[in-house]
């Protein structure tokens, strides 16, 4: 039955205990801050029908999502993007949203959008229609209000990963020719379709879907390269010059049309519309890979309280980045060595070298011989190379073996996204474990997109094994693109006073981030091909604990020194468990879970509600009893200010019914279920 009162409105359980810095005063941390990291009112999505199709429109982003026939996605989404010369997407400001006509079989929407930042000032008018035959049209009519440089403006169409994988596709070209092709299984490094006028494929049995593009030549890329769970068709070509100059007064008009040739019979949903259900596979059993955090980049040393909290996590490793051209690398290495020893963790050393690598590595070896830190993995990155060349790997192995012996685990590849390694593949003789980072926010930034993209994370592991047969190192995993990647130059720019750096997301301190991390861990730990995973940092804006010091100027980040972030409890609940069962969700865009097993075969299930609506769900567990603790807006006060007291609670005792445990989760709520 679940606990009484678990599903509630925010005003019934106000979080008046926790505060965030706001000027010289302190303001209450409301549920909006717990869910989104900022005080915003999110517009409710509008649910629409076009004949046999269902979909939703998000007014805040002018984003048409999840166009379905029954349970099957025909399109993941249609939206428009304006990107600056650094590939940053300008946040749209939507106004005048009107539902001008809506029936049970059709609709007509209109809205205005302004994309304005720096030199960019672009306006576009949107119109979306759907009719009873299942035809959906998205129109984009834009005008440059200023002259600016950009890397792309126009409509983007997302084709769903699951429904399109390995599927045949008919590509009609701009010149009128037709090509028979297919969506790839392994991640394709470069564009899969070019000069596209229309794509026709069958994402559901008997449901032929045609997508027509007007206003420009379009092409399709494999977005799994950036851990987006989709293939994307967009206007323009990567083969052309970038960036482009847009002149004030110039216009861009585009249109995308989805139609259903042959008028297929309507398919009713079997899964959607019902409560989510989790199923646990007890075979195969996966060993938990090495899971750790990065050393705080802000240089803050851990105090006694922070050390005590982090010791409870039983971290396998602590990653530290050493710029061997910097005079400070010895100081940073010393701090990392001391804190790793205090935490009982082993170091992963990320070494950043240049062409003068030989002398830089000699200096490092002298420090290693003096400090004698415990290092289990050496990550080698060249500061001017997208993917580290094999010669630097061999040189590092030769030099480091002088200090620590010949049995070295070395990782290399890229400090950027998987796409860099996929497009710049190392040789088969590469003497290192393949390494890349993950962030869910390369192309879009909303919660729904981040949840969607969880499904693509394990596909990078599978494709990486086609490049290098060794186990994969994924490090770091962050909410926002991290500044150490050579592909994110913009994050090196000075941040204006009172603003967060581009690699900081205020959702770091939210329930949503904790739920997203459960989903990520559930996806990556059950591939059986991962050597290690490094998430976030120890403390600070990018960490799992707040900094002990206040920021020099007020910033929009919810934080209370002396507390923990909800993320902390995800890693704390994993301590002491050595094995993992794969856990499937019937509704992966709403609920994700991770099942842990210890040496006594006790199970702990971490369940995350990934949406801002209450969820009723069941877990197929077999007969028995369960103790359940909830982390949500009604319990978060104690969980974040008294984490050990929260963790020591026995929780609510539940009996199975028909071999299932029933849970009621509050918006973005998390349940820790002990069987």
Task: Give 49-64 pLDDT, tens digit per residue.
Answer: 999 999 999 999 999 9
The H or E element that residue 533 is part of is strand 530-539
How many whole angstroms separate alpha carbon 75 and alpha carbon 5?
37
Helices 511-524, 566-574: inter-axial angle, 10-degree rounding: 30
**Among 579, 603, 632, residue at a domain's last position:** 579
Q: What CATH code is carried by the domain that includes residue 159?
A: 2.70.98.10
Share of the chain above pLDDT 90, in %: 83
Neighbours of 525 (CB within 10 A): 23
The answer on 410 and 462 residing in a single domain is yes
**Among 206, 225, 259, residue at a domain's last position:** 259
| Per-residue CA distances from 485 to 316, 398, 438, 567 (Å) | 24, 26, 11, 24
Q: Which residues 6+ apart lie within 8 Å of 353 measured at CB?
A: 324, 325, 360, 361, 380, 381, 382, 383, 392, 396
pLDDT per residue over 419-463, tens digit each? 999 999 999 889 899 999 999 999 999 999 999 999 999 999 999
The answer on 448 and 342 residing in a single domain is yes
The answer on 180 and 137 residing in a single domain is yes
Nearest to 209 by CA among 154, 245, 167: 167
The answer on 450 and 336 residing in a single domain is yes
> Does residue 644 form part of some domain?
no
| Per-residue CA distances from 100 to 95, 103, 257, 275 (Å) | 14, 11, 19, 32
Nearest to 56 by CA among 452, 417, 465: 452
Domain of residue 501 covers 283-579
Q: Which pLDDT score, from 0 to 100, does residue 493 have?
A: 56
DSSP-derived secondary structure for 107-118: EEEEEEEEEEET
Long-range contacts of 310-313 (CB under 8 A, 24+ apart): 310/343, 310/538, 310/545, 311/342, 311/343, 311/344, 312/572, 312/575, 312/644, 312/647, 313/568, 313/571, 313/572, 313/574, 313/575
What value does the CA radius of gyration of the chain take, rounded to a whole number of Å? 25
How many whole angstroms separate alpha carbon 587 and alpha carbon 573?
23
**Residues facing 72 on adjacent strands:** 69
> Residue 252, preceding bond cis, omega within 30 degrees?
no
345 SS3 class: coil
If one counts the domains in the chain, the total is: 2
Residue 507: DSSP 8-state: G
Q: Which pLDDT score, from 0 to 100, does residue 28 have?
A: 57
Please give the distance of CA 351 from its chain centroid, rounded to a whole number. 25
Q: Which pLDDT score, from 0 to 100, does residue 486 have?
A: 45
Q: What CATH code is carried by the domain that includes residue 333?
A: 3.20.20.80
> Does residue 607 form part of some domain?
no
The answer on 439 and 302 residing in a single domain is yes
The answer on 290 and 252 residing in a single domain is no
| Per-residue CA distances from 313 to 563, 573, 582 (Å) | 16, 8, 22
The answer on 295 and 223 residing in a single domain is no
> Does residue 663 form part of some domain?
no
> Does residue 627 form part of some domain?
no
Q: Which residues 6+ apart lie within 8 Å of 385 measured at CB?
A: 392
420 SS3 class: helix
pLDDT per residue over 112-137, tens digit each? 999 999 999 999 999 999 999 999 99
> Does residue 491 form part of some domain?
yes
The answer on 326 and 196 residing in a single domain is no
Lookup result for tokens 């003068």: 356
DSSP-derived secondary structure for 225-246: GGT-SEEEEEES-TTS-SSEEE
Question: Is pLDDT of 7 > 60?
Answer: no
> Does residue 4 form part of some domain?
no
> Does residue 69 form part of some domain?
yes
The answer on 232 and 155 residing in a single domain is yes
Question: Is pLDDT of 673 > 50?
Answer: yes
The answer on 239 and 294 residing in a single domain is no
> Does residue 573 form part of some domain?
yes
**Among 562, 579, 596, residue at a domain's last position:** 579
The answer on 288 and 241 residing in a single domain is no
The answer on 555 and 441 residing in a single domain is yes
Alpha-helical (H) ranges within 24-94 are 31-36
Average pLDDT across the chain, whole number: 92
Least confident of 20-29, 94-103, 303-312, 624-633: 20-29
525 SS3 class: coil
First to last CA, the chain: 16
């Amino acid at each position: 039955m679940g606990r009484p009162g678990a599903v509630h409105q925010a005003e019934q359980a106000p979080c008046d205990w926790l505060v965030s810095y706001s000027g010289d005063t302190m303001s209450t941390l409301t549920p909006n801050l717990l869910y989104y990291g900022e005080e915003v009112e999110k517009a409710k999505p509008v649910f629409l029908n076009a004949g046999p199709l269902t979909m939703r429109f998000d007014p805040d982003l002018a984003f048409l999502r999840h166009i379905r026939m029954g349970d099957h996605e025909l399109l993941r989404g249609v939206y428009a993007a304006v990107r600056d010369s650094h590939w940053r997407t300008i946040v749209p400001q939507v106004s005048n949203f009107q539902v001008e006509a809506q029936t049970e079989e059709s609709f007509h929407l209109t809205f205005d959008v302004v994309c304005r930042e720096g030199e960019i000032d672009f306006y576009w008018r949107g119109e979306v229609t759907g009719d009873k035959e299942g035809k959906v049209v998205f129109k984009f009519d834009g005008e440059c209000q200023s002259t600016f440089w950009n890397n792309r403006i126009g409509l983007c169409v997302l084709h769903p990963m699951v429904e399109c994988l390995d599927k045949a596709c008919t590509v009609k070209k701009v010149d009128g020719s037709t090509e028979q092709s297919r969506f790839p299984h392994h991640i394709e490094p470069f564009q899969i379709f070019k000069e596209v006028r229309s794509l026709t494929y069958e994402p559901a049995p008997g449901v032929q879907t045609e997508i027509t593009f007007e206003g420009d030549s379009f092409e399709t890329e494999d977005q799994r390269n950036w851990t987006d769970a989709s293939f994307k068709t967009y206007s323009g070509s990567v083969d052309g010059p970038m960036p482009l100059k847009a002149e004030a007064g110039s216009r861009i008009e585009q249109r995308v049309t989805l139609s259903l040739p042959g008028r297929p019979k309507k398919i009713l949903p079997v899964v959607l519309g019902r409560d989510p259900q989790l199923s646990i596979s007890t075979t195969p059993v996966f060993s938990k890979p090495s899971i750790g955090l990065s050393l705080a980049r802000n240089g803050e040393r851990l105090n006694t309280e922070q050390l005590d909290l982090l010791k409870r996590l039983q971290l396998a490793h602590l990653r530290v980045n050493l710029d061997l051209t910097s005079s400070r690398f010895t100081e940073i290495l010393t701090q990392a060595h001391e804190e790793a020893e205090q935490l009982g963790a082993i170091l992963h050393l990320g070494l950043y070298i240049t062409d003068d690598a030989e002398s830089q590595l000699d200096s490092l070896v002298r420090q290693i011989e003096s400090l004698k830190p415990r290092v289990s993995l050496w990550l080698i990155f060249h500061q001017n190379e997208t993917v580290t060349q094999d010669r630097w790997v061999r040189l590092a192995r030769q030099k480091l073996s002088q200090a620590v012996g010949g049995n070295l685990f070395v990782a290399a590849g890229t400090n950027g996204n998987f796409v860099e390694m996929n497009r710049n593949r190392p040789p088969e003789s590469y003497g290192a474990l393949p390494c890349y980072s993950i962030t869910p926010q390369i192309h879009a930034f909303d919660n729904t997109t981040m949840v969607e993209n969880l499904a693509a994370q394990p596909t990078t592991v599978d494709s990486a094994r086609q490049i290098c047969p060794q186990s994969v190192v994924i490090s770091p995993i962050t909410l926002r693109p991290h500044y150490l990647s050579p592909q994110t130059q913009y994050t090196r720019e000075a941040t204006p006073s009172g603003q967060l750096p581009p690699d900081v997301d205020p959702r770091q301190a939210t329930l949503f981030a904790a739920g997203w991390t459960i989903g990520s861990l559930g996806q990556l730990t059950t591939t059986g091909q991962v050597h290690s995973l490094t998430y976030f940092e120890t403390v600070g804006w990018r960490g799992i604990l707040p900094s002990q010091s206040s920021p020099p100027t007020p910033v929009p980040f919810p934080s209370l020194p002396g507390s923990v972030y909800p993320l902390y409890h995800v890693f704390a609940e994993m301590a002491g468990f050595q094995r993992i069962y794969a856990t499937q969700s019937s509704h992966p865009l709403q609920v994700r879970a991770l099942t842990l097993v210890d040496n006594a075969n006790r199970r702990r299930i971490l369940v995350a509600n990934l949406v801002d609506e209450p969820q009723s769900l069941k877990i197929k567990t077999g007969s028995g009893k369960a103790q359940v603790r909830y982390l949500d807006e009604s319990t978060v006060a104690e969980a974040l200010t008294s984490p050990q007291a929260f963790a020591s609670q026995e929780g609510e005792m539940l009996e199975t019914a028909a071999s299932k445990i029933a849970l009621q989760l509050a918006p973005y709520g998390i349940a820790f279920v002990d069987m």
